[in-house]
Structure 1
Amino acid sequence: MARNAIAAALRGWFAQRDFVEVTTSALQVSPGNEAHLAAFATEAIGPDASRRPLYLHTSPEFACKKLLAAGEERIFSFGPVWRNRERGPLHHPEFTMLEWYRVGETYERLMDDCAEFLALAAEKAGAQRFRFRGREADPFAEPERLSVAEAFARHADIDLLATVSADGSTDRGALHEALVGAGLRTAPDDNWADLFSRVMVEKIEPALGQNRATILYGYPISEAALARPSADDPRVAERFELYCCGVELANAFGELTDPAEQRRRFTSEMDEKERVYGERYPLDEDFIAALAFMPQASGSALGFDRLVMLATGATRIDDVVWAPVAD
């Protein structure tokens, strides 16, 4: 019953701070435009037998931001999302995502929110420590704040930002040489993003969130997704991820509100998706248009099932889902 207790406590937390809970449609014209996310596709049939493709959303992000553009200021969504080609101890094709937005507040405020959620989940589950695969962390301790560049230097001895130019362009050759020097495998067809991801998966992520949670911030601008550039350094974005016991729990942005830049990024991501997987998803034109009216905001998405796992000591996500999808 820890799952229910944590869910109720989180809803109470938002209610006390005047957030509005929103329920958005799971069926969308675009499931999201990240190259390596796979969606569940379906088809809508109209009364005249006309057909059009729809997708189960991989996140309520597009719909929530349309609501911000329409005037909402503090909202959260707490419900199921779907991702295809994902199954394992930390992955389930349908899972529960908590997503929340603050208009006029920085993404550093979301870092504080995340720290409060860890403590709240631990309290409701009666846990003094979070545990996963032999790793432990204190959910009541203040999370470490570590930049991506600092993490690369500490855990892989790589100067990451030396491979990123002021205009955001990346140097694949320089990063490749750094990986070779660090003893990491490479492939001839690896691009800069592939090399970056390999360091993250093999060197960085396993070391994060030990003894206390880690907030990993300042992602290279080429990995910004829907985040705006940092005002302090144009090579990085206002994006952070929350890790605990080596597990990624949350992903947050200082939100990008430039429609042209967002279109450029989405198109680039879909070009990469087509190169790797031979398919691409449509753009949500209403979402891109809404960005022109969206106020400055910050937003975060948190994997609720993973939070429950760490709070209860479960080793598989299926153990904290009421009725898992059969293998």
Structure 2
Amino acid sequence: MADWRPTADFSALGRRAQLLAAVRAWFAERGVLEVDTPLLATSPVTDPNIEAITTVAPDGDALMYLQTSPEFAMKRLLAAGSGSIYQICKAFRRGERGRRHNPEFTMLEWYRTGLSLQDLMDEVGAIVALAVGPIESHYYSYQQVFEQHCGLNPHLASLAELKACARAHLDLNFDTDDRDVWLQLLMSSVLEPSLDPNSLSFVYDFPASQAALANTRNNADGIQLASRFEAFYAGMELANGYDELRDANEMVRRIRDDHRRRADNDQVLPPIDRHLLKAMAALPECVGVAMGFDRLAMLACDVARIDEVIAFPLERA
């Protein structure tokens, strides 16, 4: 096998280029500014589920990080008065390689001022339609999908009930007392596969413990929920959207919680982005979403592997 050759056919690369042009035209029609931010960052995200790739700063005195998302830099632009913005860029995550993952991938991320989370879901639907044509969307609360497919309320179920449910559906050989591990396992292994692959499914109102940098609110029953959604189509997670947090003190509290969970798992504790903390006070009310562009291209090309829509994956870089 000639391992110098691309893994994607030129027909797929051509369709990918057409999709890039269509996405840019879509945002241009709506007056959303395309921006470009650095791939090298002094601070990565602290999410325990994401590991950044490190490198040495040009002066050789400090570590820097290949960005896992342009989120922090884009929020600094928003705080400085950019208005609605979008970016198509490379992002990097250590250890992510598989049928739908490559450590270097392309991210489509956008932030909208003056829109609601529902408006943002509508925009996600419009972007997905650029790849697959007209599409029907369905909306489910996080609680609704758990009650329908697992028979329990994820916000009220005991830890023992979550463990029992997971073990009833999956062959597992580990244990933990972290509720979110069990919730995320059930979501990815039981609930996501149950969603209609032929329609765009939005799951919203996640537990507050999974808010990341989204706002939280209390529902009618007094349960605290994260104002965020995830979008799924054809068995793939495509997008993750937030009503964006603007409270710097709350951001620090969540980062410290991430650090605690990382310490429990013997993970590296990344530094806090001080630039973003200073900018938070000026961040306007906005909603934002990150979408894996390679997965969007996979849909446009009707292929099953990310290698079929990128020229040179990890093994051929």
1:55 to 65, 68, 76: 65
Residues 1-327 of structure 1: pairs in structure 2 closer than 5 A: 1-46=14-59, 51-123=61-133, 140-163=134-157, 172-173=159-160, 175-176=162-163, 179=166, 185=172, 187-230=174-217, 232=219, 234-326=223-315
Report deviation, 1:116: 0.6
**Contact in 2 for aligned 1:179/1:186 (Cα 8 Å):** no
Give, as a single letter, the amino acid of the residue that structure 2 aligns with 1:58: T
* Unpaired runs of at least 5, structure 2: 1-13
Secondary structure in structure 2 of the residue aligned to 1:38: coil
Q: Give, in whole Å, the separation in 2 of the partners of 1:186 and 1:198.
A: 13
Q: CA separation of 1:31/1:19 partners in 2, compared to 1, >3 Å: closer, same or farther?
A: same
Give, as a single letter, the amino acid of the residue that structure 2 aligns with 1:122: V
* Unpaired runs of at least 5, structure 1: 124-139, 164-170
Q: CA separation of 1:315/1:180 partners in 2, compared to 1, >3 Å: closer, same or farther?
A: closer
Q: Give, in whole Å, the separation in 2 of the partners of 1:87 and 1:301.
A: 19
Report deviation, 1:173: 4.3
Between 1:234-243 and 1:55-64, the stretch displaced more is 234-243
Secondary structure in structure 2 of the residue aligned to 1:219: strand
Report deviation, 1:278: 3.0
Q: CA separation of 1:6/1:258 partners in 2, compared to 1, >3 Å: closer, same or farther?
A: same
1:236-271: CA deviations, max 9, x gaps?
111101100110000000000011111111111122
Report deviation, 1:73: 1.1
Q: Give, in whole Å, the separation in 1 of the partners of 2:175 and 2:309.
A: 41
Q: Give, in whole Å, the separation in 2 of the partners of 1:173 and 1:250.
A: 31
Report deviation, 1:178: 5.0
In the other structure, the counterpart of 1:135 is: none
Report deviation, 1:179: 4.3
**Contact in 2 for aligned 1:252/1:299 (Cα 8 Å):** yes
Q: Give, in whole Å, the separation in 2 of the partners of 1:71 and 1:151.
A: 38
State the identity %.
36
Between 1:216-225 and 1:175-184, the stretch displaced more is 175-184
Report deviation, 1:176: 3.5
Secondary structure in structure 1 of the residue aligned to 2:225: coil
Report deviation, 1:19: 0.7
Q: Give, in whole Å, the separation in 1 of the partners of 2:67 and 2:166.
A: 35
**Contact in 1 for aligned 2:169/2:190 (Cα 8 Å):** no
Give, as a single letter, the amino acid of the residue that structure 1 aligns with 2:124: C
Secondary structure in structure 2 of the residue aligned to 1:326: helix
1:35-72: CA deviations, max 9, x gaps?
110111011142xxx60110000000000001111011
Q: Give, in whole Å, the separation in 2 of the partners of 1:210 and 1:187.
A: 30
Give, as a single letter, the amino acid of the residue that structure 2 aligns with 1:6: L
Q: CA separation of 1:185/1:159 partners in 2, compared to 1, >3 Å: closer, same or farther?
A: farther
Higher relative contact order, chain-length normalized (CA < 8 Å, sep 6+): 2
Report deviation, 1:218: 0.6
**Contact in 2 for aligned 1:176/1:186 (Cα 8 Å):** no
Secondary structure in structure 1 of the residue aligned to 2:85: strand
Q: CA separation of 1:82/1:209 partners in 2, compared to 1, >3 Å: closer, same or farther?
A: farther
Q: Give, in whole Å, the separation in 2 of the partners of 1:148 and 1:8.
A: 34
**Contact in 2 for aligned 1:21/1:77 (Cα 8 Å):** yes
Report deviation, 1:161: 2.0
C-alpha RMSD of the superposition: 1.8
Report deviation, 1:184: 7.2
Q: Give, in whole Å, the separation in 1 of the partners of 2:20 and 2:175.
A: 46
Give, as a single letter, the amino acid of the residue that structure 2 aligns with 1:52: A
Give, as a single letter, the amino acid of the residue that structure 2 aligns with 1:35: P
Give, as a single letter, the amino acid of the residue that structure 2 aligns with 1:306: R
1:90-134: CA deviations, max 9, x gaps?
0001110000001122111110001111211124xxxxxxxxxxx
Report deviation, 1:284: 0.3
